[in-house]
Amino acid sequence: MPLLIDGNNLLHRLPASSRTRSGVRALVLEATRHERMSVVVVFDGPPAPSSPEHEALGRVAIVYSGSGSADEVIIGRIPAGRSARQWAVVTDDRALADRVRQRGATVRTLAEWSARQRSAPPRARTEAKLSSREVAEWEEVFKTARKRGP
């Protein structure tokens, strides 16, 4: 499920010491690092003069609304029709949430999204088990290497 995050809405919920766009970026990157979904954080206005217009950070993208509003960018990214149900928007902005629901996408409040990120366990990487034959083959490789020396 692709996720759109209202960046300015999230920014204003952060502690004063982290209340920057880079603070939002760091929080989202950390919170979604185990997710297998695309995440787009949308900020109002243009990027800072030293920042790129669009950032692709793995599965996370940071975009700016430029002279338009972030709400319009978010609504514009939600596809029309039934496929809108596959999308979710994270915001506490009631007007935006109403428009998102009208479009057919899911709305998560910042509190819901935050709680979900804290409770989601990291996905464990599973390693393939070796058969007894494969173990014996590797043991033979190491024995042979020891006999030859460095």
Is the per-residue pLDDT at 143 higher than 60?
yes
pLDDT recorded at residue 114:
84
Is 135 within a domain?
Answer: no
Contact criterion met (CB below 8 Å) for 24 and 114: no
Residue 150 inside a domain? The answer is no
Bridge partners, 10 (sequence order): none
Residue 148 within any structural domain of the chain: no
- Let me know if residue 95 belongs to a domain: yes
In a domain, 14, yes or no: yes
pLDDT digits (tens, 9 = 90+) for 64-79: 999 999 999 999 999 9
Please state the rounded mean pLDDT for residues 123-144. 73
pTM flag (> 0.85) = no
Q: Is residue 137, in this structure, part of any structural domain at all?
A: no
Q: Is residue 74 part of a domain?
A: yes
CATH number for position 100: 3.40.50
The pair of three-digit structure tokens given for residue 20, joined into one six-digit string: 């920057």
- Asked, for residue 131, whether it belongs to a domain, the answer is no
d(CA 66, CA 78): 18
Could you report how far apart the first and last alpha carbons of the chain are, in Å?
52
Mean pLDDT of 81-88: 94
Does residue 20 sit in helix, strand or coil?
Answer: coil
Give 146's pLDDT tier (boundaries 50, 70, 90). low
Per-residue pLDDT tens over the stretch 90-114: 999 999 999 999 999 999 999 999 8
Q: What are the CA-CA distances from residue 9 to residues 70, 129, 143 (Å)?
A: 10, 46, 61
Residue 53 has pLDDT above 60, yes or no: yes
User: Which band of pLDDT confidence, cut at 50, 70 and 90, is reported for residue 132?
Assistant: confident
Number of domains the chain contains = 1
Domain that holds residue 63: 3-125
Residue 106 CA: distances (Å) to CA of 13, 65, 100, 109, 123: 21, 21, 7, 10, 24
